[in-house]
Amino acid sequence: MPAMSRLERTELRQPDGRRVTLYGPHQPAPPGYQAPLAQPGIYERRWNPLRREWVLVAAARQGRTFLPVRSRCPLCPSTGEHSTEIPARAFQLAVFENRFPSLRAGGDRSGRPEAVASTGVCEVVVYTAEHEGGLGTLAPERVADLAEVWADRYRVLAARPDVRYVFIFENRGEAVGVTLHHPHGQVYGYPFLPPHAAAELGAGSGTGCPICAQLALEQRAAIRVLFRASAAVAYVPAFARWPYEVHVVTPAHLPCLLDLSRSARRSFALALQRVVRAYDRLFETPMPYMMVLHQRPTDGRAHPRAHLHAELYPLLRDRGRLKYLAGSESGAGVFINDTLAEETAARLRTLIA
């Protein structure tokens, strides 16, 4: 397995037991720092036998921080006047256990027979100490560092016995439901294999990799390919559900970020940044989007069909017009795309730098 980055790593623990990891150089918390405390609440999961899927119940999240003014941002460095989630006056990148998680081991339970105890973990990945910007505005070396942090979080959470799938993702923009503007993403350590990942791993026929098969199809067609990099191919899939949806796939069959070299992780992350920058140029406004990484499950099984890739779902279908998940998508599970993948690919290619 390729070596991990030499990025400096500092482990801290908040008074309520939540872990904080600072990556890169940092300055200690200011005098008088008071860590925010996690709130008690009911955390459990309930099985939906009709859809055969888990529903997470996190009843304490209703009180989570909602669009605070910049001076009260919980993801900025701490000051003498404001203690944030980050116990440092300055930092490069930070990861902490979410104070308002969707999954939490040891939370309260409702006592209902339909419910089982919550396990797993939810982390927040703070991309930078700067309050403004996002993945698209990070310097190349910071994007490379972020890729190393993602790989390290996969390694750390994969070692936990209660985590069977490490899900790295980013929600950007109020239209997606983001409640904090500071550049950040998240990592969920699920105690089960989530439905979309399970469907991908079971797709196709035989023992071949379905992602490899789709990548080969897209490269033969060529018309929807946006660009090729040393460790990534970006394309609009023929079956795109979202207007301007993009998949970024490693050209080699590699199951997770840990299977890439440092230079390959950098190339993969920079490919994601190129897509995000194209999104922002598309309608001359910061594009609200969801970005998700699919990797090998961490349940101890081999999963030879697992293939690292990212999927990006932008929410704007046109200037000032959102793509909504309405009755067909939400009630029937059938997406309706108002665009042609070939046309959106052609448009995005003109914006790729």
Rg of the chain over CA atoms, in angstroms?
A: 20
Residues 142 and 231 in one domain: no
Would the pLDDT of 220 be above 70? yes
Residues 220 and 256 in one domain: yes
What 3-state DSSP class applies to 353?
coil
Tell me whether residue 199 is in a domain: no
Tell me whether residue 198 is in a domain: no
Q: Which two tokens stand for residue 37?
A: 């405390």
Across the chain, where does the E strand assignment appear?
A: 9-13, 19-23, 27-28, 43-48, 53-58, 88-90, 93-97, 115-117, 121-126, 165-172, 184-190, 225-229, 232-235, 246-249, 289-294, 309-314, 316-318, 321-322
Gap between the Cα atoms of 204 and 197, Å rounded: 14
Phi-psi region of 250 (alpha: psi -120 to 50; beta: other; left: phi over 0): beta
Per-residue CA distances from 122 to 58, 119, 165, 181, 317 (Å)? 12, 10, 12, 18, 30
Residues 284 and 343 in one domain: yes
Gap between the Cα atoms of 337 and 190, Å rounded: 30
pLDDT, tens digit, for every residue of 311-348? 999 999 999 999 999 999 999 999 999 999 999 999 99
Residue of 26, 184, 307, 309 marked active site: 184
Residues 183 and 221 in one domain: no
Residues 227 and 113 in one domain: no
pLDDT of residue 75: 98
The 10 Å Cβ neighbour count of residue 31 is 6
Q: How many distinct structural domains can be found in the chain?
A: 2
Report the mean per-residue pLDDT for the chain: 96
What are the beta bridge partners of residue 45? 56, 116
Tell me whether residue 200 is in a domain: no
Tell me whether residue 197 is in a domain: no
pLDDT, tens digit, for every residue of 147-181? 999 999 999 999 999 999 999 999 999 999 999 99
- Confidence tier at 206 by pLDDT (50, 70, 90): confident
Gap between the Cα atoms of 144 and 315, Å rounded: 26
The C-alpha angle with vertex 126 and arms to 123 and 127, in degrees rounded to 5, equals 135
What 3-state DSSP class applies to 141?
helix
pLDDT, tens digit, for every residue of 49-72? 999 999 999 998 988 999 999 999
Would the pLDDT of 183 be above 80? yes
Residues 300 and 238 in one domain: yes
Per-residue CA distances from 9 to 25, 86, 117, 184, 302 (Å)? 8, 14, 32, 18, 29
Per-residue CA distances from 155 to 1, 17, 311, 328 (Å)? 12, 21, 21, 38
Across 191-259, where does the E strand assignment appear?
A: 225-229, 232-235, 246-249
Which of 147, 135, 103, 151 shows the shortest CA–CA distance to 291? 135
Which of 305, 95, 326 shows the shortest CA–CA distance to 201? 305
Residues 167 and 261 in one domain: no
Would the pLDDT of 146 be above 60? yes
Q: Mark which of 192, 215, 233 sits at the end of a domain.
A: 192
Mean pLDDT to the nearest integer, 295-314: 97
Residues 11 and 77 in one domain: yes
Q: What is the dihedral of CA 101, 105, 108, 109, to 10 degrees?
A: 100
Residues 96 and 209 in one domain: no
pLDDT of residue 5: 58
pLDDT, tens digit, for every residue of 75-132? 999 999 999 999 999 999 999 999 999 999 887 889 999 999 999 999 999 999 999 9
Q: Mark which of 192, 226, 252 sits at the end of a domain.
A: 192
Residues 270 and 121 in one domain: no
Gap between the Cα atoms of 278 and 197, Å rounded: 27
Residue 82 among the catalytic residues: no
Q: How many CA atoms lie within 13 A of 59 on its CB side?
A: 11
Residues 216 and 114 in one domain: no
Task: Look up the CATH number of the domain holding residue 315.
Answer: 3.30.428.10
- List, in sequence order, the alpha helices (H) in the chain: 140-158, 195-201, 210-221, 262-282, 327, 341-349
Q: How far is CA 254 from the centre of its chain?
A: 19
- Confidence tier at 2 by pLDDT (50, 70, 90): low
Q: Which two tokens stand for residue 291?
A: 């970005």
Residues 6+ apart with CB under 8 A from 208: 305
Residues 280 and 170 in one domain: no
Range of the domain at 260: 205-353
Tell me whether residue 150 is in a domain: yes
Q: How far is CA 91 from the centre of its chain?
A: 21
